[in-house]
A and B are shown apart, each in its own frame.
Chain A
Amino acid sequence: MSDIKINEVVSIVGEAGGRVVGRTRLQKIAYLLTATGLDENFEFIYKHYGPFSADLASSAEFGALIGNLTEEKTQTQWGAVYSTYTVDGFQPPEVMTARGQLASIAAASDSIELELAATAVFLAREGYDDPWEETSQRKPEKVTPVRLQNAKALLIQLSQIAVPQPIPEGLLQ
């Protein structure tokens, strides 16, 4: 098995404000940090639910078992179960870093729109000419004009943060 990176995943949840709702949301926050050059601890591949890192998933699991992470599972009205991660003894940072800004904005966003935004960034990095169109083709059950607009607005908001690898300009038009 690969290396378990408990401190690294705890750091991401901490940067996001000490609380992240949902495994998918955690994955997308971590991916956006990675894609913008603010994190280099996890490798991501494409799944039908967007960028995914198996190492991040197992590190979060270990973090909840023996690290400073708490994972609480909640059942939705339609029967699904989602996780909420919190950092034990979390103290908000005195100075907000670029990582903190990006992670906290992503953590506060709608999970479907965040997935669409992260997917578009992934597809842009993969060289697709029109990543938004490709995202729409791949996820018709999740894409609506409003969600797409909000996903784009989210990326525009994130693009205001100074990062080593800016979000591709083409995604912000």
Chain B
Amino acid sequence: METVREKAPENQRSREDIALAAAMVHDVGHGPFSHAFETVGKRLGLKLADHEVMSDELIRNGEIAEILNNEIMNGFASNVANMIKKEGKITLHNSVVSSQFDADRLDYMQRDRLMTGSKHSAIDLTWLLANLDVGEVTTGIDDTAVGKIPTFVIGPKAIQAAEAYVMGLFQLYPTIYFHKTTRGAEKLFAEILVRLVQLVQNEAVGKTGLPSEHPLVRFAQEPEALESALALDDTVVWGALQLLKGAEDNLLSSFAERLLNRKLFKCYDVRAEITHKCDPHNSGDAQNVAQIEKSCASVVLKLQEWQKNQEGDVPRIIVDVAERKPYKPSGGSNGHNEQINVRTDGGELIDILQRSEIVRSLSVYKLTRAYYDPEDLDARKAIFDIVEGEIN
């Protein structure tokens, strides 16, 4: 914020207050196990499982709104919510809340490596902040330019720090956020929650093992009610697992047991296997890369088809697909700015992609995995056969 204060064209104290409040409350709407809960919401169309929707509700209409509107000024809560949603007037202050150098990212990059004990992905925060400057960049939608918006840019002396920042953020994905064991547990969690909500909504609470007044049951009954969503957190889910273990429903009982006792599904790395076969020396040849992508996509569809044709109500193969771009050049196609611009010694703004060979050479991290019960030899064989059939 000091950088904004120094560089902003005029004194905008109210925008500073809004940005500070927005940075503090932007994630209040996260449900239990954060992003894993969001996948449940997406599958079932539960709006309040989306942390952005929930945060917006809480900031505009909840206890937070009362505090912001009464203690600061009337209408302040809406201003905060608008800035988080990237709506309304765009000023440099928006960059504190959402940009490549927003407060959240600079914070979680350090916090997550600390809390997981990881030693890589270190960033030179002091140097980055000392070299933050401001500039104006063009944004657009698809092929149409919208206009210019102010944003943070990096001074010429911090190019190495910015490179390390891009690489560090990128590396957190394969090593922490997309760790195969964590993702495996998240998959089981998501299956449990989806089944639980479906059972409750089909008047079958008795099959869940949970009492009718349990917060998870109430949420399933009233997913649009703020109070029922607010009652959920990690501890509610952990506590429920013991009860779900005794559920009449097979999926709930078996997957709850697995999560409690860490008997997770085993991960088969489809992409690694296909890459090994299609491009054993990791040449990066365009034809090989195209073949890998096609084969992975084809395997995913075949695995989903195999799972659909299975009898029984407990998934035997769970497919996981995700990707992370190390750096998104330009404003992309959504009219907002996600790029890192570097100010040259001559005062020009150029995209870090043009300035840094390191950033330019980073490839997109993609995962294509299949999770299965290690004792389910048929499922294991099905995965092996489908992958083999694709690459031979």
Which residues of A are interface residues toward B (Cβ below 8 A)? 1-4, 21-25, 43, 45, 47-49, 54, 58, 62, 65-66, 74, 76-83, 110-112, 115, 137-142
Task: Tell me, rounded to whole Å, the shortest Cβ–Cβ distance linking A111 to chain B.
Answer: 4
Assuming the contacts A111-B141, A115-B141, asked whether A24 and B334 have C-beta atoms less than 8 A apart, the reply is yes
A142 touches B146 (CB 8 A): yes
Assuming the contacts A49-B336, A62-B301, asked whether A112 and B141 have C-beta atoms less than 8 A apart, the reply is yes
| B145 at the A interface (CB under 8 A) | yes
Assuming the contacts A22-B141, A48-B334, A111-B144, asked whether A65 and B297 have C-beta atoms less than 8 A apart, the reply is yes
A4 touches B351 (CB 8 A): no
B146 touches A79 (CB 8 A): no
CB neighbours of A43 from chain B (8 A): 42, 45
A78 touches B301 (CB 8 A): no
Within 8 A of A (CB), among B142-177: 142-147, 149
Please report the C-alpha to C-alpha distance between residue A125 and residue B45 in the assembled complex, in whole angstroms. 16
Task: Tell me, rounded to whole Å, the shortest Cβ–Cβ distance linking A1 to chain B.
Answer: 5
CB neighbours of A62 from chain B (8 A): 297, 300-301
| B201 at the A interface (CB under 8 A) | no
1/0 per position for B116-136, CB-CB distance to A under 8 A? Answer: 000000000000000000000
Please report the C-alpha to C-alpha distance between residue A48 and residue B138 in the assembled complex, in whole angstroms. 17
Task: Tell me, rounded to whole Å, the shortest Cβ–Cβ distance linking A77 to chain B.
Answer: 8
A141 touches B147 (CB 8 A): yes
B43 touches A111 (CB 8 A): no
B321 touches A1 (CB 8 A): yes
Within 8 A of A (CB), among B315-359: 319-321, 329-336, 339, 351
When A and B form their complex, what is the total count of cross-chain residue pairs whose Cβ atoms lie within 8 Å? 114
Closest to B44 in A: A43
B336 touches A48 (CB 8 A): yes
CB neighbours of B297 from chain A (8 A): 62, 65-66
Provide 23 A-B residue pairs closer than 8 Å at the C-beta atoms, listed in order of the A residue: A1-B319, A1-B320, A21-B142, A22-B143, A23-B333, A25-B142, A48-B85, A49-B141, A49-B334, A62-B297, A66-B298, A66-B301, A76-B140, A76-B145, A79-B351, A80-B331, A81-B333, A111-B144, A115-B335, A138-B82, A140-B90, A141-B146, A142-B146
A81 touches B332 (CB 8 A): yes
Task: Tell me, rounded to whole Å, the shortest Cβ–Cβ distance linking A173 to chain B.
Answer: 24
CB neighbours of A21 from chain B (8 A): 142-143
B142 touches A79 (CB 8 A): no
Among candidates B144, B301, B331, residue contacting A4 with C-beta atoms closer than 8 Å:
B301
Assuming the contacts A48-B334, A66-B297, A80-B330, asked whether A141 and B149 have C-beta atoms less than 8 A apart, the reply is yes
B142 touches A23 (CB 8 A): yes
Assuming the contacts A4-B301, A66-B297, A138-B87, asked whether A111 and B143 have C-beta atoms less than 8 A apart, the reply is yes
Task: Tell me, rounded to whole Å, the shortest Cβ–Cβ distance linking B136 to chain A.
Answer: 11
CB neighbours of B137 from chain A (8 A): 78
Please report the C-alpha to C-alpha distance between residue A77 and residue B145 in the assembled complex, in whole angstroms. 9
Please report the C-alpha to C-alpha distance between residue A34 and residue B155 in the assembled complex, in whole angstroms. 46
Task: Tell me, rounded to whole Å, the shortest Cβ–Cβ distance linking A148 to chain B.
Answer: 14
1/0 per position for B11-48, CB-CB distance to A under 8 A? Answer: 00000000000000000000000000000001101010
Assuming the contacts A43-B45, A115-B141, A142-B335, asked whether A48 and B320 have C-beta atoms less than 8 A apart, the reply is no
CB neighbours of A65 from chain B (8 A): 293-294, 297
Closest to B89 in A: A140
Please report the C-alpha to C-alpha distance between residue A28 and residue B90 in the assembled complex, in whole angstroms. 23
A47, A74, A141 pick with most chain B CB within 10 angstroms? A141
B333 touches A80 (CB 8 A): yes
| B86 at the A interface (CB under 8 A) | yes
B332 touches A4 (CB 8 A): no
Within 8 A of A (CB), among B285-304: 293-294, 297-298, 300-301, 304
Please report the C-alpha to C-alpha distance between residue A22 and residue B146 in the assembled complex, in whole angstroms. 14
Within 8 A of A (CB), among B79-134: 82, 85-90
CB neighbours of B321 from chain A (8 A): 1, 58
Task: Tell me, rounded to whole Å, the shortest Cβ–Cβ distance linking A157 to chain B.
Answer: 19
A112 touches B301 (CB 8 A): no
CB neighbours of A74 from chain B (8 A): 143
Please report the C-alpha to C-alpha distance between residue A74 and residue B144 in the assembled complex, in whole angstroms. 12
Please report the C-alpha to C-alpha distance between residue A80 and residue B146 in the assembled complex, in whole angstroms. 12
Please report the C-alpha to C-alpha distance between residue A48 and residue B144 in the assembled complex, in whole angstroms. 17
Among candidates A22, A66, A140, residue contacting B333 with C-beta atoms closer than 8 Å:
A22
A22, A80, A110, A142 pick with most chain B CB within 10 angstroms? A80
Task: Tell me, rounded to whole Å, the shortest Cβ–Cβ distance linking B280 to chain A.
Answer: 21
